[in-house]
Structure 1
Amino acid sequence: MSEIVPFRRPGAATVPDAAGALRTAPPSLLLPDAPAIVVGARGVTWVTPDGEVDLLPHDEAAWRLRHQNVILAHARAVGRRLRTDRMADPFDLLELYAFVRPARFCLPTPKGLADALGLPAPGDPEAEALSLIDSARALLSELAGNNQPEDGAGRGRQPHERSDPAGIGWFMGQAGWPWTPSVMAALGLPHGPGDGRARRGPMVWNHLKEWQAEAPEPPPGHVPVEPAEARWRLAELVGSGHGVEPRPQQADYASAVSTAFTPRDEQGVPNIVLAEAGTGVGKTLGYLAPATLWAEKNNGPVWISTYTRQLQQQIDKELDRLHPDPSVKARRVVVRKGRENYLCLLNLEEAANIAHTQPAYATAIGLMARWAAATRDGDMAGGDFPGWLVDVLGKGRTLGLADRRGECVYNACSHYTRCFIEKSVRRARKADIVVANHALVMVQAALGGGDDAYIPTRYVFDEGHHVFDAADSAFAGHLTAAEAAELRRWLLGAEVSGRSRARGLQRRVEDLVGGDKVALEQLQEIRQAAQILPGEAWAQRIHGGEVKGPLEAFLAGVRAQVLARAPGVDNPYSLETECRPVAEGLVDLALDLDAALLKLAMPLEKLADRLKEMLEEEADELEAETRRRMDSIARALKRRAQNEVTGWRLMLQSLKDETPRKFVDWFGIERIDGRDFDTGMYRHWVDPTIPFADTVGTAAHGLVLTSATLTDGTGDVEQDWRAAHLRTGTVHMGGAALRAAVPSPFDYASQTRVLIVNDVRKDDLGQVASAYRELFLAAGGGGLGLFTAIQRLRGVHERIAEPLEEAGIPLLAQHLDGMDVPTLVDIFRGEEDACLLGTDAVRDGVDVPGRSLRLIVFDRVPWPRPDILHKARRNYFDKVAGRKGFDDMITRLRLRQAFGRLVRRADDQGVFVLLDPMMPSRLLGAFPEGVEVRKVGLAEAVKVTRGFLAPDDTAR
C-alpha cells in the first residue's frame, strides 16, 4: 500500500482503545501499491505504480497474475480472456464500487467506472489502466467524505445508511479482502472498528423497515374509461415531460386500447384489444394512459406484463412522469417478479453464519449485505442489483441467496415482516400499476393466484408477440432428472450436511400441524415415497452406474434410446429423439415408475386436504398470517401433486397408450458446452396459447396484447391479422377482438438501408468472419452481429477481435464474456463504438437508441430449428391456417424484430445486412413498406455502409 496525503476533516478524532491502539484517525486515502492492467485482444496493458507502461503477451501477463496483486476491473472476465483461473488476490474495482455505492449503476468496464464517477473518459488502453487508479482514488475519497465521525457504537453514519461500512469492511478484511486496509483508512478506522462490529456488520436485516398487516382490499369497480378520457390522460403524461404534445398516432392508439378498460358482458369472455404500434408511436405511454385512469377510477390494479426485464425497467421509469415523487410512486407502482428473483433474508443470514467459519464466502456476503441494506425492493433480476455482480461473486453467493426452490417458511421465518417478497406482494394489492412479466402472470393464473390468491381483472401484455413462447415454457411438462431432483430437495431438504441450505417440507409445516396425527402420518409417507426421486450423484448412476429406484432406471433407459437413435451424438449440442417406437423394456420401466409416483402423489394431496380441514376446524384460533401460510402451502402441495407428479404420470402412461393430439412428447439429453446436463422426457402443448386462454383469458375482464410486430408480413391484411390471433391465443378466448394498427412515424426509407450480400459463402466461416470484420470497420463500430449458432459466433469472434481492437473498436460477445445479456447490452449502449456478437436473446433484448447501434449483421436467414416440437407445430398450424407458412411466419417475425432494433428515435440511422444469398423474396415483408432491399456483393455492402453511416463532413 502507498499512503496518500490524509483526507482531513474537522471532528475525526484519534481515540486509543483499551490496549492503547488507535481506534479512529483522520480519514486518509491508501491506494494499493500495485500495477493497473487492462486486457485487450492484442495483449495486456500493464501500468506500474511508477508510471511505466508495458504491453505484455497474454501468457506472460497470466503468469504474472499468479504471483502479483494488480488493480483491474472484473477479475473473472480478465481471467477468462487470459484463460487462467489462477490469480493472486486482485484489487477488483467492481468490488470496491459495489461496496462504496451499493445498489447504484455503473458499466463494468474502466470507461464505465470513469463515467459513473464523473471522471474523464479514457481514450486508449493506457488511459484506461490509469483511469482505474483514478477510480480507486475517487471511490475512497467518496467513502471518506460520506463518513461522519463515529463513536464506538457506530453512530454518526449518513442518514440513508442502513448498514455499517466499517463493520462490514472489517468482516470482509478478516477473510482477506484486499481492499479492507484502504476502506478502513478512508473510514478513519485503520485498526478496525472494534466492539464486535465486524461480527454484527452483515446483520443488515435488523435495520430494514417492517411491513404492517392491513385489511384485505375490496374488489375493483367497473367504471369504464372512455376514449376521450384516455386521450386526456395521455396529454397529461406526455406534457409532464418537456411540454411535448402527444403525437396523433399515439392518441389514436390510446383511444383504441381503452376498449379493454370497459366492463365485460359475458363470463369468461374478456374485452380484447390486439394493438400493433410501430416503433416510435410511444405505445408505453399510450396504454399507461387508460390503465392508470382505470386503476384510479376503480381502486384496483392493472397488471402490465412484459417478456424482458429491460422493458419492465423502461415502464417503471416512464411512470415517473405520473408520479415524480418517489414516495408516492412507491405506493402506486410496484414491479413484481417470481419469488426466485428476490433476495431471501433467511438465506442471507445463514450464508453470513457460514462465512464466519468459511472465509471464502466473506467478500460476497459483505457486498450482498451492503446491497440488501440499500436496495429499493430486493430484486436481483434487474432493478438496482448490478447484473455483473453475479459474475464477479458467483451465482451461488448472489442468485443462490434467493428462494429458488419454493422453500419459504413464511411467517415461521424470523425475517417474515421484513421480507422483500412479502413487501412486494402486499404493495401490489394496493398499487395502481403492477409491472410484472409473462411467466409470473401465467403461473399465477394457472395456480389460482400464486402468493396471495389474487387474480387481476385487467392486463396489458406488452411484447405480445412473445406470449406464445412464454406460454410454451409456463405450461410444459418435463420429467427429467434435474426437475425430479429439485422436487426431492423441496420435499426432503438438505440431505448432506453443509452442502445446501435447503429446507424440506417437514421443516416448513411442522409448527403448523403440531401434534396432528393425520398430518404427521402423511408427512412420513411423503418422506418415504420421495426416496424414489434422484438424489446425490444421480448423473453418474444414470450415465452407466448402478441406478437407484424406478425413476433413475427409467431415465437410464431414456438416455440409452436417445444415444441409440439421435443423430450427431458426438457433437456438443443437445440431443433428442421421438418416443416411439419405445425401446424394448422401457414401457415396463415407465409403468413401474408410474406406480411409484402414485404413492407420492396421494400423500401430497392428502396433506393438502388436511391443511385445508385444519383451516376450517381452527378458524377461530388461527392468526391471519398463519392462515395465509397454511393456505399457501396447501396450494403448493396440490400444485406439486396435480400439475407436476400427476402430469409426469400421464406422460408415462402415454408411452403404453397414445399421446393426446394436443401434446407432443420426446426424449432428450440436454447439454451445456458439450457436457450432459439433464436427461428426460418432455411434453409441450402443440398450441400453448390454449392453456393461456383457459387461465388468463377466462379470468380477465380486459386484455390488451400489443407489440410492434404482432401481425405477419405476407402483404395479405386478413392473413397477417390471422397470424396475430394465432400467436396470441385470442382465437381461443371467444368474442371478437378489436384490432388496431398504428404505423411508425419514422421514415424508414430514408433512415435505413437493407442489404443482402450474395457473394459470401455462409458455410465458410472464414468468409463470414471477413464480412463481419469489414462491415464493422466500415461502420466505425456500433455493430450488432447476430448468429443462429453459438459455434459460429465463437469462430467469428476469434478471427475478428484483434483487428477490431487495432482499429479502436471494442468487441463484446455473448457466451464468451461471461456476463448476462442485459449487462452486455448496457456496455454496448454506453460505448458508442463498441460491437456486440449475440444470438436470439440479444436480438430480443436490445433497446439502444442513437449511434451505439447503427449496423446489424445477420449471419444467415434465421429459420426455426427443425426439431421434434417445431415439426409438430408446423404441421398443426399449417393445417389450421389452411396453407403452408408457419416457418415463414416465424422467420419474418425474427427479421422484423432484428430490423426494429435499428431505429429507436427520429434521428437514428442504420444499415441492416444479411449474409445469406438464399434469402427468399417472400420473406421481404419483414421490412417496412418503402424500404429498398438491395442484393449486392460484399464490397458494395461495405461501400454503402461506410457512405451511409459516415460523419456529416464525409461525402456520401
Structure 2
Amino acid sequence: MLRAQYKIVSENDGDCMTDFFGPDGLFCSKLEGFEYRAQQETLSKAIAEGLKAGGGYLLAAEAPTGVGKSFAFLAPAIEWVQKEGGAVLVLTSSIPLQEQLISKDLPALSQVMGVPVSFGLLKGRGNYGCMRKAFDLGDDGFLSFNDGGEASETIMAWLSTTDEGDLSEIPLPPGHPVVERISASFRGCLGGRCPFRERCFVQKSLRNAARWQVVVANYHLFFAYTLSRGGAFPVPVKAIFCDEAHRMAEALSSVSTQSVRKDDWLRHLKRVPLPRLDQAVCNALGYDPESQAGLVKESGELAKAFFDRLDSLGGRGGIFNDPPEQLTRDGRALMDSLGPITSIGRKIDDYISDMGPAGEDVARDNGEYLAWSQVLVEMIESLRWCLDVSDYPHWTYWREEGGLFSSPSWCGDMLPSSFGVSGDSPVIVALSATMAVDGKLDYWIRETGLVPDRTLLLDSPFDLKGQMDISVVDLDTAVTDERYDDRVCRVVRKLCKDNRGSSLVLLSSTRLLRRVGSYLKKNDDGYSVLVQGELPRSELLRLFREDRTSVLVGTVSFREGVDVPGDSLTQVIVDRVPFPHPEDPVQIARRDLEGQASFMRSVLPSAKMSLRQAIGRLIRSGSDRGKVAILDGRVLSRANWRILESLPSVPIKRVRVIDRAVAHIGGV
C-alpha cells in the first residue's frame, strides 16, 4: 500500500539511487512491506551509471530471486527519462512478468516517486485484427466457414464498435478459425499499399507507444521487427532493459525459424482468391483468369507430390542436411511452377504504384490476392532455404512429419546486430535471476554474442544455507534399465509422502510424467496430485498455490515461471540433470559446428543453467524453507562436470537407493 509521494531532488545518479533504495531511503519509509536489500541498491546504482554512460553501453547482471530487480531497473529508468526525455523499452519473455510491470510495479513507482510516468504494453501484431482481412470475410473469395456466417457477422459487429482492435474483445472462443484468419500478423500485411492503412490497429498501437516513456513488450515482437522489417524497432528508445535475458537467444531462434508445412502449402494453394480485374487491366498485365486457375491447380498437384515424397522417406524425421536428389528436383519443379503465379502479383503491385492515387480502387479490390501472393513468395523462399542446406551446420535443417524446418544453430552472430549495439544505439541492460554458469557469464556471452561493458553477479538476499538443503539420490539404476521408471516412481512417492505433499516434481520426459503421475494417484497418500497437461497451466498453478499439501508433476516448462512462496511448495524433486536431448537436430548441428568441445562449451552449461532454474523454484521469500532432491548420482560421480559448483552453497547429502531401500549415506 502506498502512503506518500516524493519529488526527485538528487542530481547525482548514485546518490539518487541511495535516496530511493538505501536503508533510510524513500522506498523503506514510504512503501509498506519494502525491505532494504544491499543487492538491490547495488544493482540500481550500476544501472544508473550505465544509463549515464550513453548509447552502446551494455550491462549484464544476474540478480537472484528476492533482489527485486524490477524496481532496481525501473526506478533509474524513470528518473532518467524524467531528466533526459525520450523513452525506454522493457523486454520480457513471460506474460505474468509483463502484467506485474504494468499493473503493479510501474504504477507504484510513479506514485511513490511523485512523477507522472506514461507507460503501456505493446502487444504483438497477432493480438490485433486486420481491417482488410475482416472486410474480405463478406466477399465471394476463398474465405468460408461452417457456422452459416454467424462468426463473420460477429466480427463485423465487433469492428463497428472496437477502438483498439484487440482480438481478445471478440466474443468468440480463443483459437476460432475466423479470429485467426483476421489476425494482423506480418504474413499477408500489405503495409503502405493497404487501402486501410490509415485505420490500421497495429499502426495505432505503435502511435500510442511512441507517446509512452516506458514501453513494455516481449522478445518475439521485438525480434520480429528488427529481423524482418528493415532492422528497426518502430518505437524510438534510448535504452533497452532485457529482463529474463537468459531467454533472449531462444526467442531469436524461434523468430528466425523457417518452416515448410504440408498442410499450410496445400491449404494456401487451394484457397487462391483470383484477382478481380477489369478487362483493360487484364489486357495490360497479360492476365488470363482461366489460365491462372489452371496454373494454380497444377502447382497444387506438384506440391502434393513433393510432400508425398517427403513423407515416403519414413522414420521419425531428424537432421536433414543432405536431402535426397529426387526430393530436391520435386521441390525445384514446384517452385518453378509458381513463378508465373507470383509474377501476376508483382505486376498488379507495380500497376497500382504507377497509377498513384487512382490505383486505390484496384488495391482495395485486389488486396486479398496481393496478400495471398506475398505469402506465397515467402513460402517459396522458405522452401528454397530448407532445401538448400548450404549453411549447415551454422543453421540446423530438420524434418518432421509433414514438414521441413530450419533455425540458427547458434544466435551469437545474429543477436548483436538485432540490437544495433554500436554507434548511436541504445543503452542495453540485460538482467535475469539465472544467467551465470560456474560463477561466470561466459556461457551467456557466447550464446548471445553480446559482450558487456560491465558484468555484475549479485548474491542471493536470502539465507539459503539456513533455508534449504539438497539431497543427491543415486538410484543405482541406468536410465536404459527397465527398472528405472519404477524406481523413479517409488522414490518420488516416498519423498512426497515424507514431505506430506507440497512438492514440485520436474521430470525429463512425457513418458515419466505419465508414469509418475499415474503412480502417485493410484497410491493415494492423502494429497492431491496435479499433472501437467490435465488442466491449463494457469489453473494447475492456482490449485497448487491454494492447496498446501498438493503435488504438481511437470516437465521442462515448469522449471520456469512457477512462483509459489510459502507452505504450498517446500520440496522440489528433479529426476535427472536436464541435458538437452542428444538427438535433437540443433544439438547434432552444434556438435558438428563445435566438435568435441560441444559438450563442455554448450551442452553441460545449458544443463547446469536449467538445473539452477529448477532449484530456483523453491525459495521465493525470506521465510521459505524446503529441500531439493536430485535423482541423479552423476551430480557427484562425474567430478569433471563440476555440477556441484553450479548449485547453491547449501548443505548437500548423498542418498543411495538399493533395491527397495533408501539409505542416507552422508554429507558431501
TM range (shorter): 0.7 to 0.9
CA drift at 1:902: 0.8
CA drift at 1:300: 2.7
Aligned partners of 1:752 and 1:459: how far apart in 2? Answer: 35
1:725 aligns with 2:448: no
Q: 1:941 to 1:287 in 2, by over 3 A?
A: farther
Partner of 2:643: 924
Q: Does structure 1 retain, via aligned residues, the 8 Å contact 2:136–2:368?
A: no
CA drift at 1:786: 1.1
Q: Does structure 1 retain, via aligned residues, the 8 Å contact 2:125–2:183?
A: yes
CA drift at 1:791: 1.9
Partner of 1:3: none
Partner of 2:384: 649
Partner of 1:583: 324
Partner AA of 2:445 in structure 1: H
Q: Does structure 2 retain, via aligned residues, the 8 Å contact 1:465–1:710?
A: yes
Which runs of structure 2 are paired with 1:238-249 in the superposition (5 Å)?
A: 240-242=30-32, 244=34, 246-249=36-39
Partner of 1:689: 412
Partner of 1:789: 509
Partner of 2:107: 320
Q: 1:425 to 1:482 in 2, by over 3 A?
A: farther
Partner AA of 2:207 in structure 1: R
Where does structure 1 lack aligned partners over 5 or more consecutive residues? 1-223, 494-503, 535-547, 570-574, 670-678, 945-956
SS at match of 1:321: helix
Q: Does structure 1 retain, via aligned residues, the 8 Å contact 2:47–2:76?
A: yes
1:777 aligns with 2:512: no
1:425 aligns with 2:144: no
Where does structure 2 lack aligned partners over 5 or more consecutive residues? 1-10
Partner of 1:822: 538
Aligned partners of 1:254 and 1:358: how far apart in 2? Answer: 55
1:936 aligns with 2:649: no
Aligned partners of 2:53 and 2:349: how far apart in 1? Answer: 36
SS at match of 2:210: helix
CA drift at 1:685: 1.4
Q: Does structure 2 retain, via aligned residues, the 8 Å contact 1:301–1:458?
A: yes
CA drift at 1:690: 2.2
CA drift at 1:481: 1.6
Aligned partners of 1:609 and 1:698: how far apart in 2? Answer: 37
Q: Does structure 2 retain, via aligned residues, the 8 Å contact 1:601–1:641?
A: yes
Deviations 1:689-741 (A, max 9, x none): 3222222235842212211221212xxx5xx322121122215xxxx532111
CA drift at 1:813: 1.5
Q: 1:593 to 1:403 in 2, by over 3 A?
A: same
Q: 1:682 to 1:532 in 2, by over 3 A?
A: farther
1:469 aligns with 2:250: yes
* Higher-Rg member (1/2): 1
Partner of 2:5: none
* Equivalent residues, number: 628
Partner of 2:6: none
CA drift at 1:899: 0.6
Partner AA of 2:257 in structure 1: A
1:872 aligns with 2:637: no
Partner of 1:166: none
CA drift at 1:446: 1.4
SS at match of 2:516: helix
Partner of 1:179: none
Q: 1:518 to 1:253 in 2, by over 3 A?
A: farther
Aligned partners of 2:566 and 2:284: how far apart in 1? Answer: 62
Q: 2:620 aligns with which of 901, 904, 928?
A: 904
Aligned partners of 1:350 and 1:238: how far apart in 2? Answer: 57
CA drift at 1:358: 5.0
Partner AA of 2:409 in structure 1: V
Which runs of structure 2 are paired with 1:103-502 in the superposition (5 Å)?
A: 226-232=13-19, 240-242=30-32, 244=34, 246-262=36-52, 264=54, 270-316=56-102, 317-323=104-110, 332-342=118-128, 378=166, 380=168, 395-396=175-176, 400=180, 403=183, 406=187, 421=202, 423-448=204-229, 453-454=234-235, 456-485=237-266, 488=269, 492=272
Q: 1:416 to 1:857 in 2, by over 3 A?
A: farther
Which runs of structure 2 are paired with 1:848-863 in the superposition (5 Å)?
A: 848-863=564-579
Aligned partners of 2:416 and 2:627: how far apart in 1? Answer: 39
Aligned partners of 2:504 and 2:442: how far apart in 1? Answer: 32
Which runs of structure 2 are paired with 1:695-706 in the superposition (5 Å)?
A: 695-698=418-421, 700-706=425-431
Q: Does structure 2 retain, via aligned residues, the 8 Å contact 1:305–1:436?
A: yes
Deviations 1:772-791 (A, max 9, x none): 22222222222111121112
Aligned partners of 1:812 and 1:576: how far apart in 2? Answer: 32
Aligned partners of 1:529 and 1:263: how far apart in 2? Answer: 63
More contact order relative to length (CA 8 Å, sep ≥ 6): 2
Partner AA of 2:227 in structure 1: A
SS at match of 1:304: strand
Aligned partners of 2:45 and 2:373: how far apart in 1? Answer: 42
Q: 1:740 aligns with which of 456, 472, 494?
A: 456
Aligned partners of 1:514 and 1:255: how far apart in 2? Answer: 69
- Percent identity at matched positions? 23
Partner of 2:7: none
Aligned partners of 2:209 and 2:446: how far apart in 1? Answer: 31
SS at match of 1:874: helix
Partner AA of 1:931 in structure 2: V
Q: Does structure 2 retain, via aligned residues, the 8 Å contact 1:558–1:586?
A: yes
SS at match of 2:560: helix
> RMSD of aligned C-alpha atoms?
4.9
Partner AA of 1:683 in structure 2: S
Q: 1:662 aligns with which of 375, 381, 394?
A: 394
Aligned partners of 1:312 and 1:701: how far apart in 2? Answer: 21
Aligned partners of 2:564 and 2:109: how far apart in 1? Answer: 24
Aligned partners of 1:376 and 1:941: how far apart in 2? Answer: 62
SS at match of 1:683: strand
SS at match of 1:884: helix
Deviations 1:640-670 (A, max 9, x none): 577653343233344xxx445522222222x
CA drift at 1:865: 0.9
CA drift at 1:688: 2.2
Partner of 1:125: none
CA drift at 1:930: 2.1
Q: Does structure 2 retain, via aligned residues, the 8 Å contact 1:262–1:702?
A: no
Partner of 1:593: 334
Deviations 1:539-585 (A, max 9, x none): xxxxxxxxx43333222222222x1xx3xx5xxxxx324342x4352
Partner of 2:301: 549
CA drift at 1:923: 4.6
SS at match of 1:864: coil
Partner AA of 2:616 in structure 1: G
Partner AA of 1:550 in structure 2: L
Aligned partners of 1:610 and 1:251: how far apart in 2? Answer: 61
Partner AA of 1:277 in structure 2: A
SS at match of 1:730: coil
Q: 1:526 to 1:871 in 2, by over 3 A?
A: farther
SS at match of 1:242: coil
Partner AA of 1:816 in structure 2: E
Q: Does structure 2 retain, via aligned residues, the 8 Å contact 1:753–1:911?
A: yes
Q: 1:349 to 1:942 in 2, by over 3 A?
A: farther
SS at match of 1:836: strand
